[in-house]
Amino acid sequence: MIAHVRGMVAGVAPDGAVIEVGGVGMRVQCTPGTLATLKPGEPAQVATSLVVREDSLTLYGFGSDDERNVFELLQTASGVGPRLALAMLAVHTPDALRRAVSTEDLGALTMVPGIGKKGAERIVLELRDRLGPPGESGTTGGLPGARPQRMPQWRDQVQSGLVNLGWPARDADQAITALEEDGTIGAANGEDPQAVDVALVLRAALRKLSKR
């Protein structure tokens, strides 16, 4: 198993990044929150999980060991593959998922594109005793390179993250604009627009979209 990847970030795309390790470019698929911490030309380290299929080898990258561990645990539930597990971590933090499962918060789980009520009930039933309660991850922080990032391209990254999760670009733009107008993010409330936490904005946008 490849536990982590450390090297220079060679490139970042909406659904993943390429990290150069020993002259080899390793492509890792990540959540928008993790991607927000990676900048081309800068060193980074991400926790990783290798998913092996008959016709592919896919490396998934995460900002912390805890996020990676939750990603792997989520896949032990029936009907949850790596892409759905990644989508769950794009919408919720590991502790938010633990809280949703432990309290049987089906509404929080169905915020994830691809999870309906029956799927949420199955996840709660099968993972309640595996994920554990919130706050017991056993980790205190992310890996080097997985720090909150000041990103001037935050709007594009949030929009790309929403589109990758299945929302139309128009709806994504409207959700982001609504967050700006109500003062949740950006210059609308006098804050530095480059100091936006992409992961938090993505989750706030998903909450707005789920209420439509």
Instruction: Kindly give the interhelix angle for 117-131 and 94-102, rounded to the nearest 10 degrees.
Output: 100
Tens digit of each residue's pLDDT, the chain (212 residues): 788 999 999 998 877 899 999 999 999 999 888 888 888 999 999 999 999 888 889 999 999 999 999 999 999 999 999 999 999 998 888 999 999 999 999 999 998 888 999 999 999 999 988 888 877 554 434 444 444 443 346 777 777 777 777 777 778 788 888 888 877 765 434 444 445 677 778 788 888 887 76
SS3 21: strand
- List the domain boundaries for the chain: 4-62, 65-131, 154-210
Give buried/exposed letters for 186-203 (b at 16+ CB in 10 A, else e): beeeeeeeeebbbbbbbb
Angle at 28 between CA 23 and CA 33, to 5 degrees: 130
Instruction: Kindly give the interhelix angle for 154-164 and 198-210, rounded to the nearest 10 degrees.
Output: 50
CATH superfamily membership of 65-131: 5' to 3' exonuclease, C-terminal subdomain (1.10.150.20)
pLDDT at position 19, please?
A: 96
Q: How far apart (Å, rounded) are the C-alpha atoms in residues 138 and 136?
A: 6
pLDDT at position 212, please?
A: 63
Topology given in CATH for the domain delimited by 4-62: OB fold (Dihydrolipoamide Acetyltransferase, E2P) (2.40.50)
User: Is the whole-model pTM more than 0.75?
Assistant: no
pLDDT at position 146, please?
A: 42
The total number of residues shown for the chain amounts to 212
